[in-house]
Amino acid sequence: MTTQQGTPVSDDQNSLTIGPRGPTLLEDFHFREKIFHFDHERIPERVVHARGYGAHGYFETYESLSDLTSADVFQRAGDRVDAFVRFSTVAGNKGSPDLARDVRGFAVKLYTKEGNWDIVGNNMPVFFIQDAIKFPDLIHAAKPEPDRGFPQAQTAHDNFWDFMSLMPEAMHMVMWIMSDRAIPRSFRFMEGFGVHTFRLVNAAGDAKFVKFHWKPKLGLQSVMWDEAVKINGADPDFHRRDLWHAIQSGDYPEWELGLQVFDDDFADSFDFDVLDATKLIPEEDVPVRKVGRLVLDRMVDNFFAETEQVAFCTQNIVPGVDFSNDPLLQGRNFSYLDTQLKRLGGPNFTHIPINAPKCPFRHFQQDGHMAMHNPTGRANYEPNSWDGAERGPREAPDQGFRSFPRSEQGEARRVRPESFADHYSQARQFYVSQTETEQQHIVDALVFELSKVRTANIRERMVAHLLNIDEDAARAVANGLGIAELPDRADPARQPKTDLSPSPALSILKNGPERFSGRKVGALVTDGVDAKLLNALRKALKEEGAELAIIAPTVGGVTDSEGSSIEVNEQIAGGPSVLFDAVAILPSSDHAATLCHEPAARAFLTDAFRHKKYIAYSDAALDLFDAAGLSDAPDDGCVRLSGKKDVLSFIGQCRSLRYWDRDVS
Ligand code: HDE
């Protein structure tokens, strides 16, 4: 061990004092340096998206897109560039739980040969507001109320819904955040969206509009709200642990990059303005073309150095990509550079390895706090008349980034475009595109959140907006809130369209996985567990690409029916069923009573049942069903395991993730 200066350290246990009990000496430079450094370990957390988790990987292009864009990353099939991704929640602070009802950030940095390209997206394709000038208000309203400092990582409070109810433009996004999209099962099972319309520009200078999509290979999956609440208690790091575990065990998560490409004609004919970030373009109207894949295959070496210090900036684009006039995007292009200065403390944050380009870079920018790369040689300006190495870099008119030469004109005014005035049509389209189960979840979420709102007026204003979206939903929410008389419908700036076709791509349940891979079964076992059955289950899950976790009365291990010792992953109280996608209840007949007397074991089963999970069980488990008050429970979503065939049919069922038809009333 040395000091930061490299001086060898002889004693790191005791500070330097006069005599064994005397005062500490100022000359103890080792102590002074150690404490000084510790005192300065923190940097400001991100003002939004503070809680996040990052991983490394690569992006691979499927085919040349040179007809569409000159971006180097898309020129050659099979080309790979390094990538870094940070997933996040928005409202909570750095220590907030992973399963907050919230939008998830999906920020991707591609280290291309022509510079870093950041696609700083979310897991929802639309946003709350149309103009960046409202962003501070939105975030202030969502974060803890300033006088009391709570609630943390929750939108279920008066300030948030007060603001929402006064912002009709937010209604589409309200439907998204009240849907199961806001409580994903894992980062691995969620989509990402660039949200804004961007441009792709080819070598000839022809431009098309584009929207970016990330499609998870494992399909979409979310949890239920009651599970989310319980997961937050049982494992507040559920999402980061999931990503860590998947990557460490070699099960690398993968997303495909999809492009929705369209031209001015489509933009002009589309029902909504493509510059309005509260609108999406249904995939049924403009299909998503898959052009490459993103694979995450390496965790960071150090969380702070990489995940905390990574600086995403929407303005980091590369030749062949350009912005649109979306006013939200334009505002972000200002904000991200600004925020990095505050967070990372100086203008040289690109010198931090995670932010540095991996391609050669040369410029005349110099000095400043913590400067690591300064120009070498004599010239630090251009033009200059020096030769050779002293001359320094020069601009490259042919290869360098050129903004798409669009023409703009008009008066400088503060005005919201007329074409942004429809606030309800796509909110309705989203709602009617959901399955009945998903619609019920949206209604339940609205009732839950608005029931936390103390001001009756605010609750009513929200119902007044819902009446413009779907009358049945509005009535159901009003009922849930105990509003006897429906308020008048909110006065819309433009009459909503009620005839937009449903878009199946907007539903999670219509876009689930084909297999159970990447998921986990929790098996609740006791001593004497049927060895053959457990092995068959473990083997079949492995073949499916899924995992088995063993939950038992003690963590010290259990002995199976053949006398072998089985490693236990969780003690019952620490491994509730909310942590698993499906469960197996496999006590031996000699020890079933132990489970029946254990409240956590009964809760394991009742929760799995209530959360509509597939449940495999052995004969002896029926005692636990009785003890849990579920004597009549075994239904078509419960599979009695007596041999290998049953194991396979259980896994076959698990592929549909939940038994939504279960009646839990
Ligand atoms: Fe952000 N956003 N944002 N945002 N955002 C930040 O930049 C901002 C918006 C998004 O993992 C901040 O580095 C404004 C939309 C992600 O490090 C800040 C507006 C979308 C992340 C900022 C928006 C996003 C951020 C805070 C309204 C989806 C986390 C820390 C115009 C398309 C990136 C930071 C990471 C972070 C500003 C709206 C996504 C303050 C002004 C829309 C994923 O610059």
**Mean pLDDT computed over every residue of the chain:** 97
Q: How confident is the model at residue 421 (pLDDT cuts 50, 70, 90)?
A: very high
User: Which residue's CA lies nearest to atom 29 of ligand 1?
Assistant: 49
What's the one-letter identity of residue 379? A
What pLDDT shows up at residue 506?
98
Nearest to 263 by CA among 225, 210, 310, 224: 210
Ligand 1 pocket: which of 88, 129, 336, 341 to mutate (most atoms within 8 A of CB): 336
Atom of ligand 1 nearest to the CA of 50: 30
Token pair of 12 as six digits: 């790191």
Q: How confident is the model at residue 634 (pLDDT cuts 50, 70, 90)?
A: confident
CA of 476 to the centre of ligand 1 (A): 34
- Give the residue numbers annotated as catalytic, written as ranges: 49, 122
Atom of ligand 1 nearest to the CA of 134: 27
Last residue of a domain, one of 296, 326, 341: 341
Reply yes or no on whether the pLDDT at 373 is more than 90.
no
Nearest to 289 by CA among 257, 335, 251: 257
Last residue of a domain, one of 449, 481, 509: 509
User: Which residue's CA lies nearest to atom 25 of ligand 1?
Assistant: 49
List, for residues 182-233, the tens digit of each pLDDT value: 999 999 999 999 999 999 999 999 999 999 999 999 999 999 999 999 999 9
351, part of any domain: no
Q: Are residues 280 and 185 in the same domain?
A: yes
What pLDDT shows up at residue 97?
98
List, for residues 282-306, the tens digit of each pLDDT value: 999 999 999 999 999 999 999 999 9
526, part of any domain: yes
Q: Are residues 536 and 590 in the same domain?
A: yes
CA of 332 to the centre of ligand 1 (A): 7
Give DSSP secondary structure letters for 326-351: -HHHHHHHHHHHHHHHHHHSSTTGGG
Residue 574 is given by DSSP the state G
Query: Residue 160 to residues 140, 143, 155, 605: CA-CA distances in angstroms?
Result: 8, 8, 6, 36
171, part of any domain: yes
Q: What is the 3-state secondary structure (H, E, C) of 64-92?
A: CCCCCCCCHHHCCCCCEEEEEEEEEECCC
Residues having CB closer than 6 A to ligand 1 are 46-49, 52, 86, 88, 105, 107, 120-122, 127, 132, 135, 195, 277, 310, 312, 328, 331-332, 335-336, 339
Token pair of 507 as six digits: 């539903």
How does 48-70 read in b/e, with b if 16+ C-beta sit within 10 Å?
bbbbbbbbbbbbbbbeebeebbb
Q: What does the alpha-carbon distance between residue 383 and residue 371 come to, in Å, rounded to a whole number? A: 23
415, part of any domain: no
Q: Are residues 267 and 232 in the same domain?
A: yes
Average pLDDT of 619-639?
A: 92
146, part of any domain: yes
Q: Are residues 499 and 520 in the same domain?
A: no
User: Which residue's CA lies nearest to atom 9 of ligand 1?
Assistant: 332
**CATH code at 450?**
1.20.1370.20
Where in 194-335 does DSSP place strands (E)? 198-201, 207-216, 254-262, 289-299, 321-322
569, part of any domain: yes
**Residue whose pair of structure tokens reads 């509005």 in the numeric block:** 474
Atom of ligand 1 nearest to the CA of 52: 11
Atom of ligand 1 nearest to the CA of 277: 42
Q: Are residues 61 and 191 in the same domain?
A: yes
91, part of any domain: yes
Query: Backbone phi, then psi, for 283, in 5-degree steps?
Result: -65, -20
What pLDDT shows up at residue 31?
98
| Structural domains in the chain (count) | 3
List, for residues 444-471, the tens digit of each pLDDT value: 999 999 999 999 999 999 999 999 999 9
Q: How confident is the model at residue 643 (pLDDT cuts 50, 70, 90)?
A: confident
Mapped onto helix, strand or coil, the DSSP state of residue 141 is: helix
Given a contact cutoff of 8 angstroms between Cβ atoms, the answer to whether 199 and 208 are in contact is yes
Ligand 1 pocket: which of 49, 103, 173 to mutate (most atoms within 8 A of CB): 49
Average pLDDT of 606-629?
A: 96
Q: What does the alpha-carbon distance between residue 569 and residue 551 come to, in Å, rounded to a whole number? A: 6
In degrees, to the nearest 5, what angle opens at C-alpha 511 toward C-alphas 196 and 240? 70
Q: Are residues 558 and 469 in the same domain?
A: no
CA of 194 to the centre of ligand 1 (A): 11
Which DSSP helix (H) or strand (E) runs through 56? strand 52-61
Q: Which residues pair with 52 in a beta bridge?
A: 88
Atom of ligand 1 nearest to the CA of 195: 32
Helix runs in 186-313, H state only: 225-234, 238-248, 264-269, 303
- Torsion over CA: 576, 580, 581, 585 (sign): negative
Q: How confident is the model at residue 434 (pLDDT cuts 50, 70, 90)?
A: very high
Token pair of 586 as six digits: 């496999």
659, part of any domain: no
Token pair of 291 as six digits: 């052009």
CA of 107 to the centre of ligand 1 (A): 9
What's the one-letter identity of residue 547? E
Q: Are residues 455 and 592 in the same domain?
A: no
Q: Are residues 439 and 329 in the same domain?
A: no
CA of 135 to the centre of ligand 1 (A): 10
List, for residues 229-241, the tens digit of each pLDDT value: 999 999 999 999 9
Atom of ligand 1 nearest to the CA of 329: 31
Reply yes or no on whether the pLDDT at 660 is more than 80.
yes
Reply yes or no on whether the pLDDT at 377 is more than 90.
no
Reply yes or no on whether the pLDDT at 32 is more than 80.
yes
List, for residues 565-581, the tens digit of each pLDDT value: 999 999 999 999 999 99
What pLDDT shows up at residue 73?
98
Ligand 1 pocket: which of 46, 191, 275, 279 to mutate (most atoms within 8 A of CB): 46
CA max distance for the chain: 91
What pLDDT shows up at residue 399?
87
Lowest mean pLDDT among 243-252, 300-309, 383-392: 383-392
Q: Which residues pair with 613 in a beta bridge?
A: 658
What's the one-letter identity of residue 262? F
What pLDDT shows up at residue 66?
98
Q: How confident is the model at residue 54 (pLDDT cuts 50, 70, 90)?
A: very high
User: Which residue's CA lies nearest to atom 7 of ligand 1?
Assistant: 336
Q: How many C-beta neighbours within 10 Å does residue 270 have?
A: 16
Q: Are residues 330 and 439 in the same domain?
A: no
Q: Are residues 155 and 285 in the same domain?
A: yes
**CATH code at 131?**
2.40.180.10
User: Which residue's CA lies nearest to atom 14 of ligand 1?
Assistant: 332
How does 448-458 read in b/e, with b if 16+ C-beta sit within 10 Å?
bbbeebeeeeb
Question: C-alpha 511: how far from its chain's center?
Answer: 17
Q: What does the alpha-carbon distance between residue 133 and residue 435 come to, in Å, rounded to a whole number? A: 35
By residue range, what is the domain housing residue 294? 48-341
CA of 336 to the centre of ligand 1 (A): 7
User: Which residue's CA lies nearest to atom 6 of ligand 1?
Assistant: 48
What pLDDT shows up at residue 633?
76
Last residue of a domain, one of 462, 493, 509: 509
Ligand 1 pocket: which of 276, 314, 332 to mutate (most atoms within 8 A of CB): 332
Q: Are residues 565 and 627 in the same domain?
A: yes
Q: What does the alpha-carbon distance between residue 296 and residue 196 come to, in Å, rounded to a whole number? A: 24
User: Which residue's CA lies nearest to atom 31 of ligand 1?
Assistant: 132
CA of 121 to the centre of ligand 1 (A): 8
**pLDDT > 70: percent of the chain:** 100
Average pLDDT of 22-31?
A: 97
List, for residues 140-156, the tens digit of each pLDDT value: 999 999 999 999 999 99
Mapped onto helix, strand or coil, the DSSP state of residue 524 is: strand
Q: Are residues 574 and 462 in the same domain?
A: no
Torsion on CA atoms 623, 628, 629, 634, rounded to nearest 10:
-60
pTM > 0.95: yes or no = yes
List, for residues 60-100, the tens digit of each pLDDT value: 999 999 999 999 999 999 999 999 999 999 999 999 999 99
CA of 48 to the centre of ligand 1 (A): 7
Reply yes or no on whether the pLDDT at 250 is more than 80.
yes
Atom of ligand 1 nearest to the CA of 46: 30
Reply yes or no on whether the pLDDT at 665 is more than 80.
no
Average pLDDT of 493-518?
A: 96
